[in-house]
Structure 1
């Protein structure tokens, strides 16, 4: 008996480099979200350009997204709800929606590695380097990048593909990632993709 399409095994691609999009499908529904929104819009446009460039080179994209406490939903529900939001929040969700070949995981906390299958996926894909983009530079991106470094991955955090609630917070987070954790931190706009 043939398996239904939804139950068919799908092979994982081998991808030495992986683009990890952290919390980019985001309702930005918290008290200080207005401070994050302008930078998030700029970052979303840079992320879309970088993602297209990396996709042409065969780099796999993995979305690691908060579940926002919606324990009875899945990523498609979150994407649909965010796409329906008015203004820049909805536009960002439309711009950064995953392509059919992209992988998606939901995370319950800040780091994309905490209580998720991310490390298992990366091991199966034989990944060596993560390109980490998303929101916010000083929280979920930073904690994901530090976990990645502690697990032995090379990490590039494109500075123009992140945002925080203030430029100072973003700058300090990226400085610490570069100086302390030895992540590559440079803008995607000027960098050669892996």
Structure 2
């Protein structure tokens, strides 16, 4: 199925009025065009099917009259600019050459850089929030649900499982059995253990 805009890819749509493609040199990859208005031949840039054209043969432009006044011939220049505004030598291109900023050439790269920068900012924000919530969860004391006959005992600085079991007069294995899987090497200050009353 042809593309929606495939009819705009023809020479009729892309070339100036009266220009037809007449040759292609495969060695230099240069297209040659003929202007039907004056019979002159034009060439495109190497490797480009369309673009800026350069005159290679044909009649030279008429010489200027002596005592030539720019104001007398303005209408003819305007018509030529309207017909072929992108050809070299037209008054629009001679008077006002286009100034292309370095940003114009780097615009796709700048857009990509902006996307990468925003993505990195979002990633760092997410990691910061995840680390803060993990730190907050770690700082909150654990309150165990003790069985009947057990009382929650807070852990203070310097407490160990063995010290707490000795203070209650129970064996260390009993303390571990009442509190499930706990890590006695990493007791969190402020959390609680269940010990028999």
The two structures share one fold, judged by TM-score above 0.5 = no
Q: Which TM-score tier does this pair reach, normalised by the shorter chain? A: under 0.3
Bigger Rg, which one: 2
* TM-score normalised over the length of structure 1: 0.18
Higher relative contact order (CA 8 A, sep 6+): 1
